[in-house]
Structure 1
Amino acid sequence: MIYMDPEARAASLSFRQLKLFESVGRLDSVRRASEECNLSQPAVTQALAKLEQQVGATLLERRASGSYLNELGKIFHRRTTRLFVQMEEALVELGLPVASAPMIAKRISKSQARSLIAIVETGSFGQAAEALGLSQASLQRAARDLEGNLRKPLYYRTAAGVMVTPAGIELGRRMKLATQEIEWGIKEIEAARGSFNSQISIGAMPFGGSVLLASVLDEFVKAYPTAEIRIINESASEMLKSLRAGAVDFVLGLVQETTARDLSNEALAKTPYTIVAQRGHPILRKGRVTVADLLEYDWVVGTPGAARRGCFERLFASGPGPNASIATCALPVIRHLLTGSDRLTLMTTYELLHEDGRLVAVPFGPIEPAPAIGITMRAGWLPTQLHQAFIDLVRKHVTDAAVMPLFREAS
């Protein structure tokens, strides 16, 4: 049999097959599932056999009393159930009645979902058709069939062509997240067999996220040498967009003070900002540094919207601030700019902890509020075993580091 990676195997499965499997796993019976899905028992049996072949694992134990999920089947059934629950929730958010959402979700085909996802991601029907390897006529048919099933407008025509409505964009985003469950289910089956040859996508926010990620990567790779780690570095706002879109699995860095309903923060440790200068800087000869002392030097600041940029602006809110002509979120650039000059900047205590000694803290006193370093995830996300192993390693590393873990404050 030709090997297919988990993504390809997941893509080969139809919603019809997955619904039949969900029904059999819930009812422990092919007969009862065939009645629920209005299909013959032979048709259900044949669909399940093909699904197991595509997944690459036996998922059901066939007995005289019924068909029962084995251990691998339970893993995959949990993910399949999550797929349909998320689809139904997305339809309710679209404005469909709660009572009718399950029935409407059953009518949505894989091709209809893929068409909307591709159109949202590429921005046009033409590019979406090319990405899926379909004719534009086939793609348009699937798109219109989805609109007909939902009885909700998903597209509108402009001078530039057909565009997706805001509600359609959100539905496409949520459908993509739902369909990812199947790929993760296949990866979990492989992990249960002892194989961790799969990929995780990690978002690292500027500054603290990259430092935290770098501090645990070596240990993780040693423990899971066959795992592929894909790292995305973007601004905080772009990173959260990538997280919501499913382009990254979770994000490391300074957690936001407020979190949208669809995201959850796990703050691991307080890591206050401190003013930083190169070792031997003239300001370090002062016993206690004042705001007036800070005004005498050039600063490297964070980009607009960054948490440390806000901290810098609050620090000098009482009057004109110092010269700050350079704004960047790239630690290597900041390190280069401070080393060999009298510039100052703000870094968190966690970031400074991982510097090589060339940069040191300026004795200024506490700067409030103190941000927290941690993990941002999608609300309700279920990590795979590989995801969980990485997250547990991050938790352990932060707990072991001298950065004021939150749980110690509470004790």
Structure 2
Amino acid sequence: MLSSTVLYARLMARARLRHLQLLVAVAEHGSLKRAAEQVGMTQPAATQALADLEALLETPLFERHARGMRVGTAGQAVLPMVRQVLFALQSSMEALAAVASGASGLLRVGAIPAAVHGVLATRLVAFCESHPDLHVDVIEGRPDHLLQDVLAGSLHVALARQPADCPARLQFEPLLADEAVVIAGVGHPLARRRRVTLDELARWRWMRAPHGVGVRDTFDALFDGVATPAVHTVTTTSPGAAVAVLADGATLAMVPRSLAHWYVQHGLVALVDIGRRFELGTIGALALRDGRHGAALSAFIDAMREPPPAS
């Protein structure tokens, strides 16, 4: 059985970036022919390249079947890291291009939806105006994915809630306290009520956040031990999708106040007064402790900590 050291040495000595591109393309398309077209290779060349890579690793990465190719167990083990390598390389080229075009650098920022609306929406423009030569790339995503991207170096910082088990390599700078609130479409009967009871809430249909999102745990705890309400077939963290569903006037949702505030301000949804408060984890900045991203990242975090400008 080969050791990881030997496999790594083989890859460094004989693998090419084209091998990695092909691996990802085959996984995405399930077809060697379409993967070859995507990376600009002939099918025979792609077949040989994939065979060479599997020979290097001494294990098949894909299962071949009549309708194409499916990622095998070994392929599932290496694909996440291969994607991160290619993504990090692409990020480096974007930073290089930004510098070549006159920018002082590139700052890649990941954010959960609540941080986009609660932090970035009120502070990002002012930061960019005070740093006109810095290119800022904002990517919205799930907290677990963003955390892994920071650890891999493909994001400089993630605006998210503090993980329950924060990796030692990361530091967390708190930025915004948050709580869960109940919202409805502006035409919903409960939007005009005060002090809605739990029994009344349970009579309506709810759209829930996916498992693994903090506000979903709060929702489940709210109805623990009482009749579970009917739930919508849509489960989402997308604010746009939530607003569209709530427009039916018959659905409720529990979301972070940081996310709801903008939509309430613009008359797209309404808060439902339930007479309770449900604290959520503080939103903050997660970055590597080694300070490798320097002054630009420090200035960004400081700017996100500043109170938003008066509206």
Retained in 2: the 8 A contact 1:272–1:348? Answer: yes
Alignment counterpart, residue 125 of structure 2, candidates 206, 209, 218: 218
Task: Give me the whole-angstrom Cα distance separating, in 2, the residues matched to 1:190 and 1:133.
Answer: 23
* Other-structure match for 1:98: 5
Alignment counterpart, residue 349 of structure 1, candidates 247, 252, 257: 257
- The 5-angstrom pairing of residues 282-361 of structure 1 reads 282-284=192-194, 286=195, 290-292=197-199, 294-295=201-202, 298=204, 300-305=206-211, 306-322=213-229, 324-325=231-232, 327=234, 329-332=237-240, 334=242, 344-354=252-262, 355-356=264-265, 359-360=270-271
- Spell out, residue by residue over 1:342-395, the C-alpha distance to the aligned partner (whole angstroms, 9 max, x if none): 965423232345442864573623325x23324567x8999767xx84685356
- Percent sequence identity is 18
Task: Give me the whole-angstrom Cα distance separating, in 1, the residues matched to 2:163 and 2:177.
Answer: 12
Retained in 2: the 8 A contact 1:254–1:371? Answer: yes
Task: Give me the whole-angstrom Cα distance separating, in 1, the residues matched to 2:255 and 2:147.
Answer: 25
C-alpha deviation, 1:155, in angstroms: 3.2
C-alpha deviation, 1:325, in angstroms: 4.3
- Spell out, residue by residue over 1:98-126, the C-alpha distance to the aligned partner (whole angstroms, 9 max, x if none): 36633652232333333323323433211
* Other-structure match for 2:276: 365
- Spell out, residue by residue over 1:169-206, the C-alpha distance to the aligned partner (whole angstroms, 9 max, x if none): 43243234234444544555566678229877655544
C-alpha deviation, 1:130, in angstroms: 0.2
Task: Give me the whole-angstrom Cα distance separating, in 1, the residues matched to 2:290 and 2:58.
Answer: 29
- The 5-angstrom pairing of residues 25-104 of structure 1 reads 96-98=3-5, 101-102=8-9, 104=11
* Other-structure match for 1:196: 103
AA in 1 matched with 2:265: D
AA in 2 matched with 1:400: P
For 2:45, what is the secondary structure of its paired residue?
A: helix
Alignment counterpart, residue 180 of structure 2, candidates 273, 282, 287: 273
Alignment counterpart, residue 77 of structure 2, candidates 170, 182, 207: 170
Retained in 1: the 8 A contact 2:117–2:258? Answer: no
AA in 1 matched with 2:207: V
Q: 1:302/1:207 Cα in 2 relative to 1: closer, same or farther (>3 Å)? A: farther
Matched, 1:116 2:23: yes
Retained in 2: the 8 A contact 1:255–1:265? Answer: no
- TM-score between both structures, scaled by the size of structure 2: 0.67
AA in 1 matched with 2:208: G
Task: Name which of structure 1's ranges 220-229 and 156-165 shifts more when overlaid on structure 2.
Answer: 220-229
C-alpha deviation, 1:131, in angstroms: 0.8
Q: Which structure's relative contact order is higher, taking Cα pairs within 8 Å and 6+ residues apart? A: 2
C-alpha deviation, 1:138, in angstroms: 0.9
Task: Give me the whole-angstrom Cα distance separating, in 2, the residues matched to 1:356 and 1:242.
Answer: 33
Q: 1:98/1:202 Cα in 2 relative to 1: closer, same or farther (>3 Å)? A: same
C-alpha deviation, 1:96, in angstroms: 2.9
Retained in 2: the 8 A contact 1:252–1:374? Answer: yes
Residues paired across the two proteins, number: 296
Task: Give me the whole-angstrom Cα distance separating, in 2, the residues matched to 1:338 and 1:172.
Answer: 38
AA in 2 matched with 1:366: R
RMSD: 4.8
Retained in 1: the 8 A contact 2:209–2:216? Answer: yes
AA in 2 matched with 1:356: Q
- TM-score between both structures, scaled by the size of structure 1: 0.54
Unpaired runs of 5+ in structure 2?
A: none
* Other-structure match for 2:63: 156
